[in-house]
Amino acid sequence: MTSSTGYDDLWSEFHRVVNMDSRELERWLLTEEATEDADFVPGERMPPTGAEVLAILGKRKTDLDDHDLEVMQRVVDIVHQERGEDLEPDAGDSAQWRRFLMTMGHDPLRPAGDRRTDR
């Protein structure tokens, strides 16, 4: 995949809003809590969007395909729709809201871009 300003911006913003590392996200997605409120397909191990985010976190930028870019844009859009632009730590109004965001790799109690170990 070729690099462009928009592509690089999306990569950066995705990695800013997805502030859970891959191990942390995988552990979360495999919990019962993660599937309570998510768009979950019975028989699947984890919610689909979370699984897609997890797969993207395991890729290099040059290995992304068009579907990955669509998922990245969707996650960025949803997080900004739910949180606004500042992304300062916020407990929100409900545990359900936090679980919803965490299913996409965004913990609203943690500052944006504060991923613990990997990218």
pTM of the model: 0.83
pLDDT tens digits, residue range 42-80?
A: 556 778 899 999 999 999 999 999 999 999 999 999 999
Distance CA 93, CA 86 (A): 17
pLDDT confidence of residue 40:
55
Cβ(87)–Cβ(17) below 8 Å: yes
The whole-number average pLDDT for the span 7-21 is: 95
pLDDT confidence of residue 5:
73
Cβ(20)–Cβ(14) below 8 Å: no
- With a CB cutoff of 8 Å and minimum separation 6, the contacts of 84 are none
Radius of gyration over alpha carbons of the chain, in Å?
Answer: 14
In the structure encoding, which two tokens stand for residue 119, read together?
Answer: 């990218």
